[in-house]
Amino acid sequence: MERRTFLGGAVSLGALTLGMPAFAQPAGKPEKTSVKLGVGGKPLLYYLPLTVAERQGLFKEQGLEVEINDFGGGAKSLQALIGGSVDVVTGAYEHTIRMQAKNQSIQAVCELGRFPAIVIAVKKSLAGEIKSPADFKGKKIGVTAPGSSTAITAQYAMVKAGLKPTDAAYIGVGGGAGAVAAMKRGEIEVIAHLDPVISKLEGDGDIQVLIDTRTEAGTKALFGGSNPAAVVYAKSDFVSANPNTVQRLVNAHVKALKWLASATPEQVADLVPPEYHLGDKPLYLKAVKSSLESYSRTGIIPQEGMESVLDTLRKLDAELASAKIDLAATFTDRFVKAAAS
C-alpha cells in the first residue's frame, strides 16, 4: 500500500484552474477536516476525477486535509473502509450493492464514471485461439485484484458467453506498471483492465482488444445499457454523522468533473504526475482521449444504471440472486445537487 498525505491536494496548477469559479463552501462547519480516503489504483484513468481534485487543490479549497491511501485494487480499498482504516473510498458502485447483501450499509454520494471504462483483451499471440469470452475457460485473466470491478466485468462477459464465473483463474496484477509487466512476461493470457495500462499494451502490440466499455456503445454492447463505474462512497453512518464533510468532498469531485468535461488530453497529461504516463506520454494522451467520454456529466447515477449493475451482480452471485436489495439506499443525490447549485 502506498500512503501519501496531501493537504487537500497541495500541488495546485494555477494555469489549469484559471477561470474556474470556486464552489461556495457549505454553510456548516465540517465535522472532520482530516479525512482518510481509499482508492484501488490511483494512476488508473478510472480514478482521474480524484487525481484532478487532488492536483488542483480542490480539497484544500473546501477546507479539508485528505490523506489518500492507494491500494492494489478496489476490493482492497473496500476492505479498508469496512475495517475502519479509511473514512471514504473512490471505488466501484457495485460494492454498495454487495455490502448491502451482507448487511453492511454503504452509500455512494457522487458518480465519477458513467461507463466502466474496462477493456478485456487477449495476448496478441493467442488472438487466433481466444476469439471471445467463450474461449476463456481454463485461462489466466489478469485483473486489478480478485473481487474488483475488473474481475466482475470479466466474469459477466464469461457468463454472457455461456461459461461459469469459476471457469477461469483471476490473477491480481495491480493497477499500474505491474499489470503491463504481467502481460509482457506471459503470466496472464487475458487481461481485464483500464487505461493507461490498456493503451500502453495495445500501443506496444501486446494485446488484441475484445470488449471495450470506455464508450457508451461498448458499454451497451456488453451490459445492454448504462452501467455506472467509479463513485465516492462511505459507510452510511459516516455520511449521516458528517454531512458537511461529505458535502465538501462532493463539491471537490463535482468541480473536478466539470473541469474534465472540457479538458483536453494535453491538459490532463500535464496535470497528473509524470509517472502516470508509464514512460510513454503520447500513448497516455491516446488513453485519455479514449477515456474522456466515460466520466460522469452530472455526478448523479441514473436509476437504469443502478438496475443494470444489480442485474449484472445477480447473474454472478447466488447470494445476490435472491437477496432483497433497496437500490435507493445505495446512492443519495442530495450532495451532488447541493454542489451543483
Q: Is the same domain home to 247 and 201? A: no
List the CATH number of the domain containing 158.
Answer: 3.40.190.10
Mean of the per-residue pLDDT values for the chain?
A: 91
Stated pTM of the model:
0.84
Q: Is the same domain home to 243 and 171? A: no
Pairing relation of β-strands 65-71 and 2-6? antiparallel
pLDDT at 42 over 90: yes
CA dihedral sign of residues 95, 96, 98, 102: positive
Question: Is 221 within a domain?
Answer: no
pLDDT of 319 reads: 86
Question: Is 218 within a domain?
Answer: no
pLDDT at 318 over 90: no
- Number of domains the chain is built from: 2
Q: Which of 183, 212, 241 is the last residue of a domain?
A: 212
pLDDT of 176 reads: 82
Ordered alpha helix ranges (H), the chain: 14-17, 48-55, 58-61, 74-83, 94-101, 149-160, 177-184, 197-203, 216-223, 236-241, 243-260, 265-271, 281-291, 303-316, 318-321, 334-340
225 confidence band (pLDDT: 50, 70, 90): confident
Q: Is the same domain home to 196 and 296? A: no
88-109 confidence digits (pLDDT tens): 999 999 999 999 999 999 999 9
Q: Is the same domain home to 55 and 154? A: no
Q: Is the same domain home to 56 and 72? A: yes
Q: Is the same domain home to 107 and 130? A: no
Question: Is 186 within a domain?
Answer: yes
Question: Is 59 within a domain?
Answer: yes
Using the 8-state DSSP alphabet, how is residue 75 labeled? H
pLDDT of 7 reads: 36
Q: Is the same domain home to 167 and 185? A: yes
Q: Is the same domain home to 55 and 124? A: no
4 confidence band (pLDDT: 50, 70, 90): very low
The predicted model gives 100-127 an average pLDDT of 96
Question: Is 219 within a domain?
Answer: no
Q: Is the same domain home to 233 and 109? A: yes
The predicted model gives 256-270 an average pLDDT of 97
Q: Is the same domain home to 276 and 247? A: yes
pLDDT at 178 over 50: yes
Q: Is the same domain home to 108 and 127? A: no
pLDDT of 112 reads: 98
Question: Is 36 within a domain?
Answer: yes
pLDDT at 1 over 70: no
Question: Is 40 within a domain?
Answer: yes
Q: Which of 159, 184, 212 is the last residue of a domain?
A: 212
The predicted model gives 240-267 an average pLDDT of 98
15 confidence band (pLDDT: 50, 70, 90): very low
Interatomic CA distance for residues 138 and 276, integer angstroms: 33
Range of the domain at 314: 2-115+228-340
pLDDT of 87 reads: 98
Higher pLDDT, 2 or 80: 80
194-214 confidence digits (pLDDT tens): 999 999 999 999 999 999 999
Q: Which of 212, 236, 267 is the last residue of a domain?
A: 212
pLDDT of 73 reads: 84
pLDDT at 10 over 80: no
Q: Is the same domain home to 101 and 244? A: yes
Specify the range with the lowest mean pLDDT, choosing from 117-121, 214-218, 253-257. Answer: 214-218
Percent pLDDT > 90 in the chain is 84
Higher pLDDT, 14 or 193: 193
